[in-house]
Structure 1
Amino acid sequence: MPTVLTRLLHTGRRETRLLLALALPICGAQLAQAGMSVADVMMTGRLSATDLAAVSVGSSLWLPLMLFMTGTLMGLTPIVAQLLGGRRTREIRPHVHQALWVALALGIAAALLLWFAVTPIFALMDVPETVADRSAAYLSAVAFGMPGAALFQALRAFSDGMNHTRPSLWISLIGLAVNIPSNYVLIHGGEGLTGLFGDWLPAGFQALPALGAFGCGIATALSLWAMCLAMALYTRRARAYREVSLWHSPAPPRWRVIGALLHVGLPIGVAIFVEVTLFTLIALFVASLGEVTVAAHQVALNYTSILFMLPLSLGMALTVRVGNTLGQGRPAYARQVAWNGIAVSVLVALLNGALLWFTAEPVIGLYTHDAAVQRLALSLVLLAMVYQVSDSLQVNLAGALRGYKDTRIIMLITLASYWLVGLAGGHWLGTRGLPGLVDPMGVHGYWVGLIAGLTAAALLLGVRLRRIGKAVADGERGAIHDHL
């Protein structure tokens, strides 16, 4: 028994170190990309409320599209991780080339949607005409960046699968470095530059027009393409990828390989899209409950979303570790890797819960000085503490299952847990309560629904991982889709 315990502790220490080495750069990259959205909101908000509303409404349309593309292309990560673990590096390049074709198609499709589909959506949402016009202009500019965003995500998925997660951090910081000054120049124009640097600037700079929301869209597109080109250049020149020779002998579209990639990736994209739309729909339902409630909901959600970045990054790293280990032909050890990652995710969730407990009040005070908003936001953050463990568990269980390329079940569990339990249950509690027991709970009902939905997802994904891990370890079935 002491020998078994010693072996488990040694495995835990080794795997935890490797997992965190992969996860922390991913977390930094996620925060850098989130920083672009923060910069957009802050800079347009200083120009006018209309431009801020236009960017906010536009972001609610293009960000879900980008996350769907990101999720779909994440299917490449476990494929590359398993091939790398099995020392089949020659097979990596054609898979990445097919992922780039998929990325290009997704990026063009997303751009076309942003160019031609937003006006009917704004009419359906009854968006005020001035906001709709500026938001449409903002999205028309962002659309140019969507192919770049998709190509970057494909290359990032390849790099992550190769156990190199730091490049995505540095390149995301490059994107942020392009985004902030471009935003300032294009949103505020010459008047903003003069106010910042003085009247000594050349007349050409002082005459630059203030483009507002449209300028913000141009800056976003520029930053997306800067990230894409930087990632392409890095993967071409860095020694870490030399064995793959990624940019030699480009392969035309191969429908069998593309179909296999989509078989793994498309359910991931749908699952992420479902999660995003869950929060979008809740925000729409909460909008009818008054300004204080809407503000408190957004403050609490924004704060807890920042803390969620680390569990999310752990889940993405766990996909790589499980995939690598399976590719090495070590299914029993892959099971240990998966459950060690789950244990780490619980510890991270407890840490996040403690941070919420000690920092909620002062941090909420940074968001707003309105006492009513502060009180309501604090009560929602306390509810968020309850679901920290469930949220961290479900995202890391899903990450481990992606390492097995078992992605369709994640999509089905997500649909059932988030929409049926989380959204429908939360809406019922918020508007009706429990007849005879609990009055309508308002915004708190929606958050209780989130707790229930995340908990249901964690339980179902845990059962699935236990079954898949045991079956593969016992040789009852091979690694999922091992024919790729």
Structure 2
Amino acid sequence: MFETKTRPEKFKMLLKITSPILVTQIAMYLVTFFDIYMTSRYGTEDLAGVSIGSSFWFPVYIGLAGILMSITPIVAQLMGAKRKNEVKDAVQQGIYLAIFLGLLVFFFFLTAIDSLIGIMDLEPAVAGVAKEYIFALSLGAVPLFVYNALRSYIDALGSTRISMIISLLSAPINVFFNYLLIFGNWGFPELGGAGAGYASAITYWIVLFIAAWIIHSLQPFKEFGIFKNWARVSFARFKEICLIGIPIGISLFAETSIFSAVTLMMSTYGTITIAAHQIAINFTSLLYMLPLSISMGATILVGFEVGARRFGDARQYSWLSVAAAVGFSFVSACILFFMREPIARLYTSDPQVIALAVQFLVFAALFQLSDAIQAPVQGALRGYKDVNITFVMALISYWVIGLPVGYLLASFTGFEAFGYWIGLIAGLTAGAATLSIRLLAIQKKMAMQ
């Protein structure tokens, strides 16, 4: 990364940083995408089971992995302030924390999964798939969290293309093991939806080893000696990572868990509704990788400029990121609206599921603009290390506004299951508005300095 002077230079830098992140995010998301897609080709009950399992797994993973995202602004600001000698310690402590979080997730699901699934009124076959899918995924929790820490370090150095290359390898690896374990090809056991979980866990381990080898062997990572002369656990550094990371994690948990909560609450409408809803959420989440990638690019660039105390440049990067995401959101909305039936048919041939998924995709198109605003705004705020008020705003927007509105519309109006999607739109819109106001306030404060 380097200092930019003009808006065109900044836009080019944003593209340079964000484009590899986008490919990386898509490649990483394709692991979940192909779990859902390939399971949908296996059977509706397995699709519903994987959907339920994902609804428990994904928000827990995202919320805790969000803590490790604090490594990006910490390292970016250290680099911007020319304090390279402190980078190694920050990353090593992040790895220690990642191992702890991975073990925490593993033992949580190992002991709690029967109780979590038991509170839901699921068909026995669906419940069985959900339990084994979550157990299988948890076997890959430690490598997944450690890779997140390493990736945050890689991205903070501006080497987002390396993350892209690593993640591009993950999708074909996952598809290969899905092919073996879901359908029982080449003499492997036919595990159905549960096989997708085992395939993902294997993929996480392989990707971690690839990332570790690159950091140990190649420049500019090699010069920092991340895997040499390991320091003792530093609770002071843990505190720094957590003070920034926990609010980020809670914000991400609040946003992702509302989608999972909606999926779980829709279980009362039956297997067909769960499957159709999951198709819409799965494809929409793929499109969300674009504003999310711009958000992560904004964190890196804003953090770098704040570290160098170039607050005017940080402000320009913030709103340039929002403008880019908004522009792309119109394309995403058009894809969802005009291609909703072909999208549904990609996943299933069941006419009932297709008919319902097509209707859900219309609502998905409607919240693209709100998603495109709130994601980069959150990313910019992380670059400023402003995370505490942000997570409060996220909690209110999604859980005090979004989910209650959805529940009321679903329970007391004729919207039924579609009411939850209207609630999602309301929550995302509230989040976009309140977070934008917060960003303006932070930038005004910085300008006064």
Normalized against structure 2, the TM-score is what?
A: 0.91
Verify: 1:110 aligned to 2:105, yes or no.
yes
Deviations 1:337-382 (A, max 9, x none): 2122122222122232333344334434444566665565444433
Verify: 1:162 aligned to 2:191, yes or no.
no
Distance 1:358 1:232, change over 3 A: same
* 3-state secondary structure, aligned to 2:6: helix
Query: Do the aligned partners of 2:295 and 2:375 also contact (CA within 8 Å) in 1?
Result: yes
Query: Do the aligned partners of 1:55 and 1:213 also contact (CA within 8 Å) in 2?
Result: yes
Letter in 1 for 2:16: A
- 1:285: Cα distance to partner? 2.9
Verify: 1:464 aligned to 2:446, yes or no.
no
Matches within 5 A, 1:273-292: 273-289=253-269
Verify: 1:381 aligned to 2:361, yes or no.
yes
Matches within 5 A, 1:41-440: 41-44=36-39, 51-189=46-184, 192-193=185-186, 206=187, 208-213=188-193, 215-289=195-269, 293-367=273-347, 376-433=356-413, 440=414
Letter in 2 for 1:388: Q
Identity %: 36
Verify: 1:452 aligned to 2:426, yes or no.
yes
Structure 2 CA distance for aligned equivalents of residues 55 and 367 of structure 1:
14
- 1:210: Cα distance to partner? 3.7
- 1:47: Cα distance to partner? 5.3
Query: Do the aligned partners of 2:63 and 2:250 also contact (CA within 8 Å) in 1?
Result: yes
Letter in 2 for 1:25: P
Structure 1 CA distance for aligned equivalents of residues 250 and 72 of structure 2:
16
Structure 2 CA distance for aligned equivalents of residues 90 and 445 of structure 1:
53
Distance 1:236 1:408, change over 3 A: same
Structure 1 CA distance for aligned equivalents of residues 348 and 40 of structure 2:
15
- 1:441: Cα distance to partner? 2.4
- 1:385: Cα distance to partner? 3.3
Query: Do the aligned partners of 1:71 and 1:268 also contact (CA within 8 Å) in 2?
Result: yes
Letter in 1 for 2:242: L
* 3-state secondary structure, aligned to 2:339: helix
Letter in 2 for 1:240: P
Query: Do the aligned partners of 2:52 and 2:263 also contact (CA within 8 Å) in 1?
Result: no
Query: Do the aligned partners of 2:277 and 2:357 also contact (CA within 8 Å) in 1?
Result: yes
Query: Do the aligned partners of 1:289 and 1:442 also contact (CA within 8 Å) in 2?
Result: no
Letter in 1 for 2:377: L
- 1:290: Cα distance to partner? 5.4
Letter in 1 for 2:308: Q
Deviations 1:255-308 (A, max 9, x none): 011011000001111111122221122123333345665454333333322221
Letter in 1 for 2:319: W
Normalized against structure 1, the TM-score is what?
A: 0.85
Distance 1:282 1:186, change over 3 A: closer
- 1:444: Cα distance to partner? 3.3
Distance 1:456 1:45, change over 3 A: closer
Distance 1:117 1:468, change over 3 A: same
Identify unmatched segments of 5+ residues in structure 2: none
Matches within 5 A, 1:31-50: 31-44=26-39
Equivalences, count:
446
Identify unmatched segments of 5+ residues in structure 1: 1-8, 194-205, 434-439, 476-484
Letter in 1 for 2:170: G
Structure 1 CA distance for aligned equivalents of residues 40 and 130 of structure 2:
14
Deviations 1:67-103 (A, max 9, x none): 1232111011111111111121111111111111110
Structure 1 CA distance for aligned equivalents of residues 284 and 44 of structure 2:
25
Structure 1 CA distance for aligned equivalents of residues 137 and 91 of structure 2:
25
Between 115-124 and 33-42, the greater mean CA deviation after superposition: 33-42
- 1:127: Cα distance to partner? 4.0
Find the structure with the greater CA-based Rg: 1
Deviations 1:398-440 (A, max 9, x none): 000000011111211110000111110122122224xxxxxx3
Query: Do the aligned partners of 1:335 and 1:473 also contact (CA within 8 Å) in 2?
Result: no
- 1:139: Cα distance to partner? 3.4
- 1:38: Cα distance to partner? 3.3
Query: Do the aligned partners of 2:51 and 2:275 also contact (CA within 8 Å) in 1?
Result: no
Structure 2 CA distance for aligned equivalents of residues 382 and 418 of structure 1:
20
Between 225-234 and 54-63, the greater mean CA deviation after superposition: 54-63
- 1:116: Cα distance to partner? 1.4
CA RMSD of aligned residues (A): 2.5
Structure 1 CA distance for aligned equivalents of residues 364 and 332 of structure 2:
10
Q: Which 4+ residue blocks in structure 1 deviate beyond 6 angstroms?
A: none
Distance 1:122 1:287, change over 3 A: closer
Structure 1 CA distance for aligned equivalents of residues 249 and 46 of structure 2:
30
Query: Do the aligned partners of 1:24 and 1:310 also contact (CA within 8 Å) in 2?
Result: no
Structure 1 CA distance for aligned equivalents of residues 95 and 317 of structure 2:
30
Query: Do the aligned partners of 2:44 and 2:275 also contact (CA within 8 Å) in 1?
Result: no
Letter in 1 for 2:448: D
Structure 1 CA distance for aligned equivalents of residues 275 and 56 of structure 2:
20
Structure 2 CA distance for aligned equivalents of residues 217 and 444 of structure 1:
29
* 3-state secondary structure, aligned to 2:228: coil
Query: Do the aligned partners of 2:56 and 2:260 also contact (CA within 8 Å) in 1?
Result: no
Structure 2 CA distance for aligned equivalents of residues 21 and 261 of structure 1:
27
Structure 2 CA distance for aligned equivalents of residues 243 and 312 of structure 1:
30
Structure 2 CA distance for aligned equivalents of residues 20 and 265 of structure 1:
26
Structure 2 CA distance for aligned equivalents of residues 138 and 168 of structure 1:
27
Structure 1 CA distance for aligned equivalents of residues 410 and 160 of structure 2:
41
* 3-state secondary structure, aligned to 1:308: helix
- 1:464: Cα distance to partner? 0.7
* 3-state secondary structure, aligned to 2:231: coil
